[in-house]
């Protein structure tokens, strides 16, 4: 583990670390915001942010304005990269496949399988690392944007008990039914659609063993709304199965970080309701 960036921010510190990941079979990076309490050694809840297509660990930490909210709530916020990286890792010229487009799953198909294991990294290796090296409690929340909104919903739904709260901005809720997801799942998981359901929030909601409320914000002027995001599919699945969903549609808002920044305070408040007071050993 090597710290490669650190910046004082809202009384705490925004850092970027690189390390060799066993899940990804190579070096990766993550951003971590440590609020003032964490810098004093006090253990704090942790929010995991998953970014969208083309992003690195930098987008969220530089553009969302998250540090202000993390400082106010006393949350550690961790933002990993969106895929494995490097010359030894398979890639594709398209922006929506390969490096920068890991889709937070564990690939089974060549040439992706050896490195594209973002689910194993995000759900297992990264929290273990964070809870070992930083003053973190085991109270975890997870959220993300677009491909990372898909990642947040799927990761929480696949691991009942591991997260206390989940939310998403403009998520790909049904990757099996939209072009981005169909392309990625065919490449990473193969043609057999039976394997896709385990990575599709709309499918996972149907059999969920845990019923965490899903907070989802969606801009009505989002250029990907009708073709790739389709939140109505999640609303229908939640309605059918009684899964609690707060879906908010915002007139005029697009797919950008301007949208995320506008409603990010509400997401922190949503996670705070579940995380604050519930952590194990706040000293």
Q: Any catalytic annotation for residue 255?
A: yes
Contact by Cβ (8 Å): 131, 38 = no
SS3 label, residue 40? coil
How many angstroms separate the CA atoms of 86 and 84, rounded?
A: 7
Q: Please, are residues 164 and 157 in contact by the beta-carbon 8 Å criterion?
A: no
Which of 75, 103, 259, 268 contacts a second copy by CB under 8 A?
259
To a second copy, the closest distance from the beta carbon of 14 in angstroms equals: 6
Kindly state whether residue 68 participates in binding a second copy, applying the rule CB under 8 A. yes
Of residues 8 and 93, the one with the C-beta less far from a second copy:
8
Instruction: Work out how close the CB of 281 gets to a second copy at its nearest, in angstroms, rounded to a whole number.
Output: 27
Whether 146 is catalytic: yes
- Based on the number of CB atoms within 10 Å of its own CB, is 127 exposed (0-12), middle (13-18) or buried (19 or more)? buried
- 146, 165, 167, 170: the catalytic one is 146
Among 120, 131, 254, 279, binds a second copy (CB under 8 A): 254
CB of 119 to a second copy, least distance (A): 30
Give, in order, the Cα–Cα distances in Å from 250 to each of 71, 219, 225.
Answer: 26, 5, 12
- CA dist list (Å): 238 to 86, 244, 276: 39, 7, 26
- Report 199-238 residues binding a second copy (CB under 8 A): 219, 221
Active-site residue among 9, 170, 222, 267? 222
User: Shortest approach of a second copy to residue 202 CB, angstroms?
Assistant: 27
Cβ neighbors of 140 (< 8 A, separation 6 or more) are 45, 46, 47, 48, 127, 162, 163, 164, 275
CB of 61 to a second copy, least distance (A): 9
Query: Contact region for a second copy (CB under 8 A) — 4-12, 47-55, 134-142, 189-197?
Result: 4-12
Cα 208 to Cα 143: distance, rounded to the nearest angstrom: 18
250 makes contact with a second copy (CB under 8 A)? yes
Task: Residue 230: name the closest of 182, 158, 163 by CA.
Answer: 182
If binding is defined by CB under 8 A, does position 256 make contact with a second copy? Answer: yes
Binding to a second copy in span 72-131, by CB under 8 A: none
Angle between helices 257-275 and 66-73 (to 10 degrees): 10
Binding site for a second copy (CB under 8 A): 7-11, 13-14, 62-63, 65, 67-68, 219, 221, 250, 252-254, 256-259, 261-262
Kindly list the catalytic residues: 146, 222, 255
């Amino acid at each position: 583990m090597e710290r490669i960036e650190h910046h004082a921010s809202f009384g705490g510190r925004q850092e970027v670390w690189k390390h060799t990941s066993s899940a990804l079979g190579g070096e990766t990076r993550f951003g971590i915001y440590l609020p003032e309490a964490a810098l004093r050694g006090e253990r704090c809840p942790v929010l995991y942010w998953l970014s969208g297509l083309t992003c690195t660990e930098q987008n969220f930490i530089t553009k969302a304005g998250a540090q202000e909210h993390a400082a106010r709530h006393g949350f550690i916020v961790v933002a990993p990269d969106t895929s494995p990286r490097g010359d030894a890792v398979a890639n594709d010229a398209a922006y929506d496949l390969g490096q920068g487009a890991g889709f937070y799953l564990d690939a089974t198909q060549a040439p992706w399988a050896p490195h594209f294991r973002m689910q194993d990294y995000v759900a297992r290796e990264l929290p273990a690392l964070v809870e070992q090296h930083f003053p973190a409690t085991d109270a975890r929340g997870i959220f993300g944007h677009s491909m990372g909104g898909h990642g947040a919903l799927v990761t929480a739904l696949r691991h009942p008990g591991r997260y206390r709260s989940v939310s998403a901005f403009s998520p790909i809720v049904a990757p099996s039914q939209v072009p981005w997801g169909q392309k990625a799942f065919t490449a990473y998981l193969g043609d057999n659609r039976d394997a896709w359901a385990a990575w599709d929030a709309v499918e996972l909601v149907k059999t969920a063993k845990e019923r965490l409320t899903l907070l989802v914000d969606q801009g009505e002027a989002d250029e990907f709304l009708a073709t790739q995001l389709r939140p109505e599919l999640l609303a229908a699945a939640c309605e059918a199965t009684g899964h609690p969903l707060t879906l908010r549609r915002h007139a005029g808002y697009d797919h950008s970080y301007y949208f995320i920044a506008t409603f990010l305070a509400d997401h922190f408040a949503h996670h705070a309701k579940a995380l604050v007071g519930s952590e194990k050993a706040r000293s």
